[in-house]
Each structure stands twice: as C-alpha cells, then as structure tokens.
Chains A and B, each alone.
Chain A
Amino acid sequence: MLTFTIRRLLVAIPTLLFISLIIFLLLDLAPGDPLANMPLTIPPDVRENMRAALGLDQPVWIRYALWLKQFFWVEPLNILDSILGTSLAGDGQRVLSWQTRSPVADIIAQRMPQTLWVVGLAYVVGVLIAIPIGIISAYKQYSVFDQAGTFVSMIGYSVPPFFTGVLVIIIFSVNLGWFPSIYDTTLQVNSWATFKQQLIQMVMPVMVLALQTTAQISRFMRASMLDNLRQDYVRTARAKGLRERTVLMAHVARNSMIPVVTVIALGVPSIFGGAIITEQVFKVNGIGQLMITSIQSNDIPMVQTLTFIFAVLIVLANLIADILYGLLDPRIRYD
C-alpha cells in the first residue's frame, strides 16, 4: 500500500506542474498590466526600472520559476507563520492582489470559511440523502420509488443550479417568505438566535447544491447495488438464513459503497466549481464570488491563485480517490 501511495504521489507532481504551467502561460497573455494604475507622470526610464524591480523584464520561464517559488515556498511558509505565530518566511515577495494590494492568501483565507460551510454542508447533506435513495431504488428496481428517483435525478442533472437557485428564491423567499434570498456573511454566530438565523439562511444554497450531488451519487449507488445484488455471495448469504436486512445492509450495501466512495471523493472539487454559480445566485461571498469579482476587475494574481487552488483540489481528490479505492478493495492495488 505504501509503494502504491508513493507512486500515486509521484504521478501527481508532474500533473500539477503541467497544470500550473498552463494556468501561468494562459494568464501571461492577459492584457492587464500591474503598472496600469500608476500615475502617467512617471518618466519612462523610472517606469522601466519599476518593471525590472517587479521582474517583468525577465524571460517567461524565469518568471514561471519565481511564481512557482512564491506559490510553493513563500506562501505556505507565511500560512504556517500565521497559524503558529513564528516568522519562518522572512520577507520573501508574496503574491499580491492587484486589486487590494494585500497578499492573495490572506483574502482567500477570509473567504474560505463561507464556501466551506455552505458547500461542505451541502455535499454532506447530498451524500446522506443519496445513499439511502440509491439502496432503496436498487432493491425495489422498477418500482414507483425507483421511477421517481430516476426522474428526480434526471432533473438534478438537467436543471442548472442557477435556475434551481432562482426558482427556490421565487418559491421560498418571494412567495412564502420563509428564507432570506441573500446570504448574510457579516452574521456572527454567538447566540441561539443567531445560530438559528445562520441555519435558516443556509437552507436554500445547501438545498440547491445538494440536489446536484444527490442526483449523481444516488445513480451511482443504485448501479453499484444492482451489480452486487446479482452476485453469488448474496444468494449464499440468503441461503444460510441471514435476515434480508442483514444481507442488504451488511453485505450488499457495504460492497456497493466501494466505487461510490471514490465517486464521492472525486466529486468534491466539482462541487467547488458549482459553488461559483450558487454563490453568485445567493450572494455568498466565498471563493467562487471572489473568482468572479477578480475576473471582472482583471486581478491576474488572484485569478491565477484561485484557478490553481481549484486544480490542486482536483488532483488531490483524484489522489485520495485512488488511495481509498486501493484501501477498500485490495484487488485494485498495483504494487
């Protein structure tokens, strides 16, 4: 298992480097200029010196290497410093946002909790709903429940989150007035009342995101259950007189979870991508919204960092899915 994990890790590194190169080169073509906000009265030779001081006159590959150093060495050290209160980082040049002139990592750290709360909770809720639906749909194949489940997940696949989001706003917020349509991120949870308020405002974004998750995971769970229900070991378990409940839950469901767990792991980054839209609908100021605002204001370093964080999440999720698969199903390991 250890060699398998190490080999997977080694494969992940060139993948990440390649993706970072694509992101860097793509944004290197961007029309934005970090000196665009400087006064026009600066003489051309001073301007040249400033460009040189920022390293903008270097060839592309040197700038790429420096960016990598910033991203993989300086920023992690700074994050460590802010957690532990040390000063390991020294005064290495940090990745600065062109928009706010503050380090990109600090802004992302401020935005991250909102995204994690909403997106993370939605994912957990979605998975918790999806797995029982998948189990029942497969056990009662072609029943009314199964047909309804198929239809609902088809809707979950087909109706984009920006429409389901707007639809639940119309129904629950405009007509019924149950939930606020805008997520209030300034809310401090310090009492029972504010906690309740927080829960109420999270209901709609979580509902929208969870529908997407449920649609996908419940289909996978159903297919995986159907595969397992036809296996010989199920007949054996029934033949030796186990209760139907034990057969279903302890044997079939457990074995069917193996591929589903990897699908769950693989789905984590895509839900972050989907959160870009959901955050926009409900005005949650998480990292998805940060991405949109920095794109609109041409804030290249911020866009670069965020895109790369999404990429790291995807590679990490692939890695975790592979390792989990190897752990859960010893037949899969290649060592």
Chain B
Amino acid sequence: MTDATASAPPRHRSQRQEVWRQFRSHKGAMAGLVIFVVILLGVTIGPWLWGLDATLVDIRSRNLGPSLAHPFGTDQLGRDLLARILSGGRVSLAVGLTAMLLSLALGTFVGVVAGFFERLDGALMRLTDLFLALPLLPLLLVMVMLFREPLSRSFGPENGIFLLMVTAIGLTSWMNTARIVRGDVLAIKNREFIMAAKSIGTEPSAMIRRHILPNVLSPILVSATLGIATAIITESSLSFLGLGFPPDFPTWGRLLYDAVDQIQLFPIRVILPGVAIALTVLSVNYIGDGLRDAMDLRARKR
C-alpha cells in the first residue's frame, strides 16, 4: 500500500483513479452504470425530445398498437405510452434520488453522532433498533392515508404527494446507513491520525468535517446506491397499491397499476413500466456491487 502511494505522485488523484480502475474491471457494474446513465438521460431530456404530452387525451386514437407515431402504442384514453413512460420515470427517479438523499443525510448524521459522541451512542442506537422493529410498509401506507389530503391541499396535489413520499420513504429507510456509518466511525476514531488531530486541538465539528466524514465516504456511497433502489421500489409499490401519486400524474408504479386491469388484452402496458422499474433497480444494484468491490481496501490488497 505504501509503495503504491509513494510511487504515484499526486496521492489524492491516484486513489480516485484506482477506485475507478477497479470499478471499470467489474463488468456488471459498468453495464449497470451505462444503463443507468441512459435511463437518466432518457427521462431528463427524453420528454423534451419526444415532444408529445404525457397527459394529452386523444380519444380517437385510443388503444393503438405500436406505430411510428406511437412506438409503444397508446392507452385507453389515447395517451402516448412512450411519453407516459418517460415522464413517469422522471417522477420515479426524482422520488428515488431525493428520498435517498434524505435518508442518507439522516443516517449519516445519526451514525456519525452516535459513533463520535459516546454519551449519545446508547440512546441513538436504541432509537435505530426501535425504527428497525417498526412494520415499515404498513406504516408507510398509514402515513400516506393520513397526510395525503392535508398535504395536497396546502402544496397542490403533485408537490404535496411528492413531499409526502420523499419524507415518508426517507424517514423509514435511514437505519442501515446509520448502523454502517457508526461502525466505521467507531473503527476510525481510535486511529493515530485522529489522535494527532485531537492533540493539536481540533474542534469536534472540524474533526468530523475534515477527518471523519471523508473516511466514511465509501460506505455512504454504497448505501446511497442501495437507497435509490429501495426508494424506487417503495414508491412504485405504494403507487401500485393505489396509495401513491394521483392517476393523471404518471409514475412507473402507477402506470403498472392502471394497466393491470387490462392485462389480458394489452400485456405490453404492464410489461413496459415493469421492465423500466426492474432495469433501473437492477442497474443501480450492480453499480452498488461494483462500488463496494472497488472501494473495499481489504479486497483490493488481495
């Protein structure tokens, strides 16, 4: 390890390059990354390129098969399916990414505080255990049922539900991040460089910012990828149960839910959003797998 860093002149850049090199050698992770970037680009610039409105009702061209004008066909109200999938993906991914950021922030905060301040460790970890013992899906359903009306009244139907989804998913998925981060902080806390920093009088806040956080970045990144995957699955599950976004505001889960009734006649309408969800989650999970392998120092030494 020391030889490698000594021979490569700028240490910071070489470490990042090393992770990237390791990551690139993981075939599944690279495939996942390519697919995820394609999906991300598709849902961000796709609706703008495709131009058709996802909510435009054209009752005369309903239930059409695939054609040049509508590559995926149209639904029972004549809305273009490709446009609906693209804009649905935009919502699904936005919910997934925002909820992941929230849960990551919460989890990292709890984990770092619990690991760094011994006095708070017991209480915070008991809280984490309690949250892990909560029945999450039933509670999410209950939260949606209770707060859907008031929130959509005060923030508008779309923003209200978005806010509710993101908060609900974020509040119920931070526990694993907190546990992993706490473990890593505890391990780092006893290393020499922390003692050295303490001996020159580094304040706790500066210590966390400058020395602890950069060193627990890799488990945080890995749990970020897993967080996106679970958030997307949770959002689409709730939408599938009819307790997610309103019908005129498509997400992948909602599109699937709306199409299930006509599964015998138009199976393609179920398969498309389902494949979109599955592909996204699968690619994100493979990215996480590759990141874990690339950043695991012990695995790299072997």
A277 touching B237 by the CB < 8 A rule?
yes
| Docked complex: B255-302 residues within 8 A CB-CB of A | 256, 260, 263-264, 267, 270-271, 274, 277-278, 281-282, 285-286
Q: Are B135 and A18 in contact (CB under 8 A)?
A: no
B236 touches A22 (CB 8 A): no
A170 to chain B: closest CB distance in Å?
A: 5
Whether the Cβ atoms of B137 and A273 lie closer than 8 Å is yes
Are A159 and B141 also in contact (CB < 8 A) when A29-B146, A154-B286, A311-B134 are? no
**B149 interfacial contact with A, CB 8 Å:** yes
Give every chain A residue within 8 A of B135 (Cβ-Cβ): 269, 273, 307, 310-311, 313-314
Q: Is B241 an interface residue (CB 8 A)?
A: yes
Inter-chain contacts of B256 with A (CB < 8 A): 162-163, 166
The tally of residues in B whose CB lies under 8 Å from a CB in A reads 39
Instruction: Report B-chain residues with C-beta under 8 Å of the C-beta of A318.
Output: 133
In the bound complex, residues from chain A placing their C-beta under 8 Å from that of B240 are: 160, 162, 277, 280
In the complex, chain B residues whose CB is within 8 Å of the CB of A26: 139, 142-143, 146
Q: How far is the CA of A19 from the CA of B138 in the complex (A)?
A: 13
Main secondary structure of the interface of A (DSSP, over half): helix
Q: Do most interface residues of chain B lie in helix, strand or loop, or is the interface mixed? A: helix
B145 in contact (CB, < 8 A): yes
Closest partner residue, chain B, to A295 (CB atom): B145
Chain B residues within an 8 Å CB radius of A162: 236-237, 240, 253, 256
Contact B130 A163 (CB under 8 A): no
- Chain B CB within 10 Å, residue with most, of A15, A269, A298: A15
B133 engages A311 (CB within 8 Å): yes
Within 8 Å CB of B271, what residues of A? Answer: 167, 170
Instruction: Say yes or no: A15 contacts B133, CB within 8 Å.
Output: yes
Given contacts A18-B130, A155-B282, contact A291 B143 (CB under 8 A): no
Give the residues in chain B near A281, CB-CB below 8 Å.
Answer: 260
| Residues B274 and A167 in contact, CB atoms below 8 Å apart | yes
CB distance from B136 to the nearest CB of A (A): 7
Given the interface pairs A27-B146, A157-B285, the reply to whether A273 lies near B138 with Cβ below 8 Å is: yes
CB-defined A-B contacts under 8 Å, sample of 16: A15-B130, A15-B133, A22-B134, A26-B143, A160-B240, A166-B260, A170-B267, A174-B263, A273-B135, A273-B136, A291-B141, A292-B242, A295-B142, A295-B243, A303-B145, A315-B133
Pairs A-B, 4 closest by C-beta atoms? A310-B135, A163-B274, A158-B282, A158-B281
- Give A contacts to B, CB under 8 Å: 15, 18-19, 22-23, 26-27, 29-31, 154-155, 157-160, 162-163, 166-167, 169-170, 174, 181, 269, 273-274, 276-277, 280-281, 291-292, 295-296, 298, 303, 306-307, 310-311, 313-315, 318
